[in-house]
Amino acid sequence: AQRVFYDRLIDANDQQWFKNLSVELCSRYLRMSKSEEDLYEKPIIFCDFLRPSADVKEYEEAASTTKVSGLLNDKLDEYNTEFANQMNLVFFEDAIVHACRISRIIRQPRGNAML
């Protein structure tokens, strides 16, 4: 539900409403007493570029942002050696989450994202 709904919310108030609702629904229907911090302490990251040498791209969860950051930095290094216009990017946690989200969106048929 987080990737389907939360990813589309752009207003901080709407995002907070979603978080509060998810905590309430976990308590009510799953009988789990989880706080917002418990549910949202680390981002849920899925992508299909964790295994660059694989013939078939598998959409899977990234266990940590460290591995994804390493892969993104490797691709950035490839780009910077291949093209004259070099990019100096820093892949902090939010940037990694957004890069994975954008990757997922543009791989869908007719996928688009407003940045």
User: Which pLDDT tens digit goes with each residue over 45-77?
Assistant: 899 999 988 888 899 999 889 999 999 999 999
**Checking phi first, is residue 45 left (phi over 0); if not, alpha (psi -120 to 50) or beta?**
beta
Both 63 and 23 in a single domain? no
Both 75 and 48 in a single domain? yes
Running DSSP on this structure, what letter comes out for residue 109? Answer: T
Name the one residue in this structure whose structure tokens are 């976990």: 26
Both 1 and 53 in a single domain? no
82/98 Cα distance (integer angstroms): 24
Number of separate domains in the chain: 2
- Per the structure, the complete domain to which residue 111 belongs is given by 42-115
Both 84 and 104 in a single domain? yes
What pLDDT score was predicted for residue 44?
84
How much is the average pLDDT of 1-12? 80
pLDDT in tens, 70-91: 999 999 999 999 999 999 999 9
Residue 115, pLDDT > 70, answer: no
Q: How sure is the predictor about 43, in pLDDT bands with cuts at 50, 70 and 90?
A: confident
5/96 Cα distance (integer angstroms): 19
Both 2 and 24 in a single domain? yes
